[in-house]
A and B are shown apart, each in its own frame.
Chain A
Amino acid sequence: MCANSTRGRRAVERRSILKGLGGAGLAALAGCIGTGDAPGSGDGGGDGGGGGNSSAGGEMAKRIEAWGWDVAAKSLGITASAYEKEADATVDVKQIGRSDMKDKYKSRLLSGSGAPAVAMMESVDAAAWVATGGLRDIGGWIEEAGLRDAFVSGKWEPLTKEGKTYALPWDIGPVGTFYRNDVLEQHGVDVSNVETWDQFIEEGKKLPDGQYMLNLPSNDYDGLWRMQYRQLGGQPFTEDGKVNLDNETSVRVARNLKRIHDSGIADDKASWSSAWFSAFKSGSIAALNAGAWMEGTLRAELPGTSGKWRVMKPPAFEAGGSRATNWGGSNLVIADQVEEAAARRGWDYMKFSLGTKEMQLAMYEEYGIFPALKAAYEADQFDRKNEFFGGQRSGRLFAEIARKIEPYRFTTATPEVTKAINAHFGSMMGGTLSPEEAVAKAAKQVADRTGRELA
């Protein structure tokens, strides 16, 4: 709290140090600065030498650093070079491994120094990162730029806490059901008119033994549960943080997963394992539910299957029910410790990269990063025929799903939900627990381990 409420004053304080006028004001603030930044510690990319002359309101640093991983970092590279041409500044994009970047960034948030001006943050991590108290509330800038309504509404929930907004949305993962059209055709299975899970399972039963429609990996029950719970508008936590796993919606999802399991249409290969990839290559598992980003992975890992895939909206729970949900998604953040001038430059760059249609489309085109910016969906790119999906207009399908995604609340207790669902759903699939019991036990386990109340 302290750190947030004094940001303005801290900026003033920094200037006074630089002008050699420190003294009295400092002593009054000292109690609140605590783990704040040491004078002159805006290293690691934050300062860029702009901090010293930021007496005017809008001064911006000449050079900033931005951190990201994998293709996300590469796409920041695209927007950075475009930005550098427009603005007289340098954005140094650092590509760091995913888990490494999380460790590194979090320790820099906690220690209050050494964070880059801009960093990427997965929505699933938002609550934990915000809880460090080290992120900057950029809500004011977002309002000022009129960007609040520019993004799909489901995106903001995890990025917002107590009226403050800590990140600008980047991409989302509207979920599609990807399937091997060639394999299904070969066995006389037709999913083109499938609308509900009932129909999907019935079609799946037409497949011969050893040929599966889906995969239910025991290491990822929580992913499947979350995807379907969100589809039904479920929230794992109430607004005041109570554990909200044990309710009719959640039980419905559990029953559905159990039904898929019992119907015999699903295999149980560990997700992302090489066996899993080979099953999709050979077609022994014919379909998977995943975020739009999955296309890029399938394209890269199984190039030989291009043209054989199709994608549809995930089945609904009942006819006419919602078929929109999300898997994954990232954002950009600014650390609270970043010097004012570097923070302004960082925001300017973020706004340019994520708030403009052109840049979002450039990243989508090159790396398949699916924008959360609604304006981007109006572009022709989304109507283009996709060879990987046999000429299907997959972009338009995902864009339609994207607009209807329900918001979802991640908290610092989210990792406990993952563990609890995987553990108790394992027992449910094995038959020792009923769906009602599995859901109730998972909820109780999360509440016990995190000291939260049950909703």
Chain B
Amino acid sequence: MREDDRREGVWRFLTYTVLLAAVVVTLVPLYWIVVAATLPERAFLAAGSDPRLLPGGHFLENLRALQARENVDFLGSIRNSVFVAVTYTLLSLVLCSMGGFAFAKYEFRFKEPIFYAILATLILPIQLLVIPLFLLVSRIGLTNSFWAIILPWAANPLGIFLMRQNMRSIPDALLESARIDGATEFQLYYRIALPTMKSSLAALAIVLFLFQWNLFLFPLVILDTGKYTIPVAINQLVGAQRVYYDQIMVAAALSIVPIFLLFLFLQKQFVSGILAGSIKE
């Protein structure tokens, strides 16, 4: 008995150590961005020889410098990013859940090959897709439009995969009895499948939102100055001969806020989604 206790204690100690290390590794860069955003650029650049670990009072000044820049409309880019990411997430949730439902609950010809073909597109790096996508988008007249960065990934293969895996857990009998009660196929998806998938949808929403929020190369290529999203706008702060670190740090720190809010908003669903798979009946 005591032997077991001790072993458990050692395990717990190891677990906490690893978790603590992970927390530090995750939080330190985040903390450093926030600190750096409040320091004058010189203090930030001197951090190697003269570390400053506490926030300074320079935040508003850095923010003002950022807003005064003529080639970067920072607030505008946040608006653009929020619009694009929210629209994309909602649209993609609908498409992925519909796709996942079809793959999980219907039988049709070539179902498996189609599904694996969709999965296979996951290995294509974005760099490879930029030119073909640009051609496609420009030929349908969507250059410099937000739809150009929303539509190509709307049916996200990862999302379809996750939804399919989750929707397989919906009992067939449940759908069958609803059918007998006269529900249409759309009602099965909308009334039965979706409500049971709330937590998975929340988790997927975060993944999709982050994916779109962080997208850089394609928006850079396809959008013009006034329509830049956050990552593209931040990159404008790298000048030919100077990098404006103070302004980059302010922009980076502020660009985390919407993601943070989204997490808070979806946290309950998200956590229950993680726990959902952990307990067996």
Contact = CB atoms under 8 A, between A and B. Distances in A.
Contacts of B236: 96-97, 100
A70 interface: yes
A98 B238 contact: yes
Contacts of B139: 38, 41, 113
A5 interface: no
A44 interface: yes
Contact of A43 (B141, B235, B239): B141
Interface in B212-266: 217, 220-221, 224-225, 232, 235-242
Interface stretch (A48-56, A103-111, A418-426): A103-111
A96 B71 CA distance: 7
A95 interface: yes
A107 B130 contact: yes
A111 B220 contact: no
A110 B130 CA distance: 10
A124 B251 CA distance: 32
Contacts of A73: 71
Contacts of B135: 35, 111-113
Contact of A104 (B221, B237, B238, B242): B221
Given A41-B139, A44-B143, A99 B238 contact: yes
Contacts of A272: 241-242
Interface string A38-67: 101101100000000000000000000000
A73 B70 CA distance: 12
Contacts of B42: 274
Nearest to B48: A275
B144 A103 contact: no
A98 B240 CA distance: 6
Contact of B240 (A40, A69, A104, A112): A69
A236 interface: no
Given A272-B241, A274-B45, A104 B220 contact: yes
B47 to A, nearest CB: 11
Contacts of B238: 97-99
Interface string A302-315: 00000000000000
Nearest to A72: B240
A297 B242 CA distance: 9
Given A43-B143, A97-B236, A107-B130, A297 B217 contact: no
Nearest to A297: B241
A301 B239 CA distance: 14
Contact of B239 (A94, A97, A112): A97
A241 B232 CA distance: 36
Contacts of B237: 97
Contacts of A114: 134, 138, 143
B269 to A, nearest CB: 37
B45 to A, nearest CB: 4
B131 interface: yes
A73 to B, nearest CB: 8
B70 A43 contact: no
Interface residues of B, number: 28
A233 to B, nearest CB: 28
A97 B217 contact: no
Contacts of A35: 135
A297 B46 CA distance: 21
B217 to A, nearest CB: 7
Given A107-B130, A274-B42, A274-B45, A100 B235 contact: yes
Contacts of B70: 95
Contacts of A112: 135
Contacts of B221: 103-104, 107-108
B235 A44 contact: no
A243 B12 CA distance: 62
A27 to B, nearest CB: 19
Contacts of B71: 73, 95-97
Interface in A90-134: 94-100, 103-104, 107-108, 110-114
Contact of B138 (A70, A111, A297): A111
Contacts of B225: 94-96
Nearest to B223: A104
A444 B131 CA distance: 33
Given A43-B141, A96-B225, A111 B240 contact: no
Interface in B97-139: 130-131, 134-135, 138-139
A310 B130 CA distance: 48
Nearest to A275: B45
Contacts of B220: 100, 103-104
B134 to A, nearest CB: 4
Nearest to A37: B138
A70 B240 CA distance: 7
Contacts of B141: 40-41, 43
Given A95-B70, A95-B225, A111 B131 contact: yes
Contact of A70 (B130, B217, B239): B239
Nearest to A97: B236
Contact of B144 (A43, A98, A99): A43
B138 A38 contact: yes
Contacts of A97: 71, 235-239
Nearest to A294: B241
Contacts of A99: 235, 238
Contacts of B130: 107
Contacts of B46: 274
A107 B241 contact: no
A107 B134 contact: yes
Contact of B134 (A69, A98, A108): A108
Nearest to B140: A38
Nearest to B236: A97
Given A104-B221, A107-B134, A274-B42, 4 more contacts: A97-B238, A98-B239, A113-B138, A297-B241
Nearest first, the 10 A-B pairs at minimum CB distance are: A97-B236, A95-B71, A274-B45, A98-B240, A111-B134, A113-B138, A38-B139, A107-B221, A70-B240, A111-B135
5 contacts: A69-B240, A97-B239, A99-B235, A107-B131, A113-B143
